[in-house]
Structure 1
Amino acid sequence: MPPARRSPSRPSAPGLSWEDVEPAPIVLVSGPEDLLAERAVDRLVERARAADPGVEVSRLDAAEYAVGTLRVVTSPSLFAEDRVVVVTGLERATDDLVADVTAYLEAPADGVVVVLRHAGGQRGKKLLDALRTRRVPTVTCDVVKSDADKSSFVSAELRRAGRRADAQAVRALVDAVGSDLRELAAACSQLVADTTGLIGPDVVERYYGGRIEATGFRVADAAIAGSSGQAVALLRHALATGVDPVPIVAALAAKLRVLAKVAAVRGRGTAAVRELGLAPWQTDRALADLRRWTPEGLALAISSVAQADAEVKGESRDPRFAVERAVLRVAAASGTTS
């Protein structure tokens, strides 16, 4: 496993993707997104096994670490096999582990890849600083929050599987299951396994049309389009099936925020719109929606949703009434109520 013999002090670009990381004497996998972290660790183990099928893999829990264990699992064995040592839970590390890893940094063992997994927080900060000072290769596993980043994730998942989805399908899938990256990955796997050809929004609708997140965004889409009857019908169905008013108000707010952002810069041209960092389908949809909206109507809708947000979080005795009133006000503010 030759890559493991590279000096850890050699400069390395920080913030590697899990898809790009290669075995090195010490690798830090940092950040709270567990799915990306698991993939980074799995890739390192797989790459090590590709170089040496007999590689020995040891896994240590940082919270249960006993002094000297790292030295034992990285010491040369009788048959001199290459090894991978995965240390999880560095954010819960014992003082003994911090001391042992700090000492190990001074003289990493040949033929050994030590993978350190830190999920976030201040625990072990001194050790993290030492790792960064030595330019240890670091895989960044930040939480994927924005719809644009989730859309990119979906497209990449499908591309790795040799499949494609059109922009509307990607958007529909993010709307439907976009609250959790692991669920998004599972949804992509299911679509790849169960369908053929280009994935369109009708396919996503067939598989995931009943999801709570999709319901909230359907209500928001109908309200912003001025379709008050459809929006209220969708809302009442959602509430009747147990959907909480809070995510529905959040969906309304998210849609209106995108409209407001695009409205603020569209007069400066397409370059200014692109600088917002939104997915292309978001900007296209917002520009189309804004044809029905005036600045006054948009301000009124945002104000109504802000009031509803406070009411569904405790300021109203009837959060269902609060969200329905907000939906009607947004639909009316669009100027094309039907």
Structure 2
Amino acid sequence: MPPAKKSAAPKAAATTTPEIDAARHRAVVAVGAEDFLAERVVTAVLAAARADDPTIERRDVDLASESGLGDLVEACSPNLFGDAAVVVARGAESADDRMVAALLEAAETGEVRVVVLHPGGVKGRKIVDLLAAGGFVVAPCEKAKGRAVDDFVARELHAAKRKATPEAVEALRVAIGDDLRSLSAACAQLVSDVQDDPLTPESVAVYYDGVADVPGYLVSDAVLGGRAVEVLRRTRWALANDAGAGPALSAAVAGGVRGLARVASAPRGASEADVAREAGVPPFKVRTLREQAGRWHPAALAAALVEIAKADAAVKGRSVTGRSMSDEGLDRDQGTYVLESTLLRAVRNRSR
């Protein structure tokens, strides 16, 4: 009689709150393509561990790297000082048998907490089954759909002690889409900036109507039009959706200011077609740009061109002093601060 086949681990039910259950366990495998939920699982496990011992450190390992096995063994081993840790192992779909054995041993000894991240799909699914059979708790991190997205928004607001009407939730999804990271950022900003409770479709429309992906030209238009609140709101929303969007935003604003400067310097009698050709803008925008140029002091326009060039360098990690570029490196938050303050200063000084 042939041996019975080993059954696969039961598939965990889909959820948008996998971190709630995962936080209680010392060995977790987060499975699914939703990186945002997987990050929350890691954060929850780390927070639970530090609630017991504030000195616990996080150790990250890439199982897909050439040194993955050695890095994993080292991360799961206690150091000379006996410090505990939470080991976060990415790339589980590329793990080999030795790595799986090391993970199972770490879970069994219990000297460290382990969170394994698997992107879902067919590749490496056997690894998930082996880990689950060895005591790992499966945290489903799949892309949310339909009603699950509405429930996610409701929970995000409930956590902030706020509510939203069903129509407001629908308006938010229409404007933002179903990306959980973007929806979470939108909820946080609405809670911070809107006093209405419950939130209404009008509340959502004020901030997010049609700005699911904020193009750089919208930030540029807000700068040229002198709308400071809109500049800050659109810039922060774009960066909340894509933390690396800074260079694209600075380039868009720089292009807009250069176009405005060309329009402002065009001869008074030049036709809209000639001005459009010289400024590199569509003819239909010339009239608007001429009106905007009339509200900019020439010196403020020239200063804005210089300052935005410096801000562009800042969001790329470089600091500019005077005419020279220093070797000082800026992190992303510092670059973002320089960009925001530069744009707001340009708007504030445009008529001076």
Compute the TM-score of the two structures, normalised by the length of structure 2. 0.52
- Aligned equivalents of 1:106, 1:73: Cα separation in 2: 13
Give the 3-state SS of the residue equivalent to 2:205 in structure 1: helix
Give the 3-state SS of the residue equivalent to 2:20 in structure 1: coil
Equivalent of 1:85 in 87, 105, 110: 87
How many angstroms does 1:168 deviate by? 1.2
> Is the contact between residue 88 and residue 116 of structure 1 (CA under 8 Å) also seen in structure 2?
yes
Segment of structure 1 superposing worse, 167-176 or 129-138: 129-138
> Is the contact between residue 84 and residue 112 of structure 1 (CA under 8 Å) also seen in structure 2?
yes
Unpaired stretches in structure 2, ≥5 consecutive residues: 1-8, 214-352
Residues 283-323 of structure 1, C-alpha deviations (whole Å, 9 max, x = no match): xxxxxxxxxxxxxxxxxxxxxxxxxxxxxxxxxxxxxxxxx
Relative to 1, partners in 2 of residues 1:208 and 1:103: Cα closer, same or farther, differing over 3 Å? closer
How many angstroms does 1:71 deviate by? 2.1
> Is the contact between residue 163 and residue 197 of structure 1 (CA under 8 Å) also seen in structure 2?
no
1:119 lines up with 2:119 in the alignment: yes
For residues 306-317 of structure 1, what are the structure 2 equivalents within 5 Å? none
Kindly tell me the number of residue pairs found equivalent between the two proteins: 199
- Aligned equivalents of 1:140, 1:161: Cα separation in 2: 24
> Is the contact between residue 12 and residue 135 of structure 1 (CA under 8 Å) also seen in structure 2?
no
- Aligned equivalents of 2:72, 2:169: Cα separation in 1: 44
> Is the contact between residue 74 and residue 112 of structure 1 (CA under 8 Å) also seen in structure 2?
yes
Task: Give the equivalent residue in structure 1 for 2:209.
Answer: 209
How many angstroms does 1:159 deviate by? 0.5
How many angstroms does 1:13 deviate by? 10
Relative to 1, partners in 2 of residues 1:122 and 1:12: Cα closer, same or farther, differing over 3 Å? closer
How many angstroms does 1:103 deviate by? 4.2
Task: Give the equivalent residue in structure 1 for 2:48.
Answer: 47
> Is the contact between residue 144 and residue 178 of structure 2 (CA under 8 Å) also seen in structure 1?
no
> Is the contact between residue 92 and residue 118 of structure 2 (CA under 8 Å) also seen in structure 1?
yes
The aligned amino acid for 1:130 is: L
- Aligned equivalents of 2:10, 2:27: Cα separation in 1: 12
- Aligned equivalents of 1:160, 1:114: Cα separation in 2: 27
- Aligned equivalents of 1:12, 1:53: Cα separation in 2: 34
Structure having greater relative contact order (Cα 8 Å, sep ≥ 6)? 1
Task: Give the equivalent residue in structure 2 for 1:309.
Answer: none
Give the 3-state SS of the residue equivalent to 1:84 in structure 2: strand
For residues 145-294 of structure 1, what are the structure 2 equivalents within 5 Å? 145-146=145-146, 148-198=147-197, 199-211=199-211
- Aligned equivalents of 1:185, 1:212: Cα separation in 2: 13
The aligned amino acid for 1:164 is: K
Task: Give the equivalent residue in structure 1 for 2:139.
Answer: 139
- Aligned equivalents of 1:36, 1:206: Cα separation in 2: 28
Task: Give the equivalent residue in structure 2 for 1:74.
Answer: 76
- Aligned equivalents of 1:113, 1:171: Cα separation in 2: 39
> Is the contact between residue 61 and residue 89 of structure 1 (CA under 8 Å) also seen in structure 2?
yes
Unpaired stretches in structure 1, ≥5 consecutive residues: 1-10, 214-338
After superposing on structure 2, the runs of 4+ consecutive aligned residues of structure 1 that deviate more than 4 Å are: 11-16
| Percent identity of equivalent pairs | 38
> Is the contact between residue 73 and residue 102 of structure 2 (CA under 8 Å) also seen in structure 1?
no
Relative to 1, partners in 2 of residues 1:42 and 1:99: Cα closer, same or farther, differing over 3 Å? same
Relative to 1, partners in 2 of residues 1:54 and 1:212: Cα closer, same or farther, differing over 3 Å? closer
- Aligned equivalents of 1:178, 1:201: Cα separation in 2: 15
The aligned amino acid for 1:83 is: A
Residues 222-260 of structure 1, C-alpha deviations (whole Å, 9 max, x = no match): xxxxxxxxxxxxxxxxxxxxxxxxxxxxxxxxxxxxxxx
The aligned amino acid for 2:125 is: K
How many angstroms does 1:78 deviate by? 1.9
- Aligned equivalents of 2:26, 2:83: Cα separation in 1: 15
Give the 3-state SS of the residue equivalent to 1:143 in structure 2: coil
The aligned amino acid for 2:114 is: V
Task: Give the equivalent residue in structure 2 for 1:34.
Answer: 35
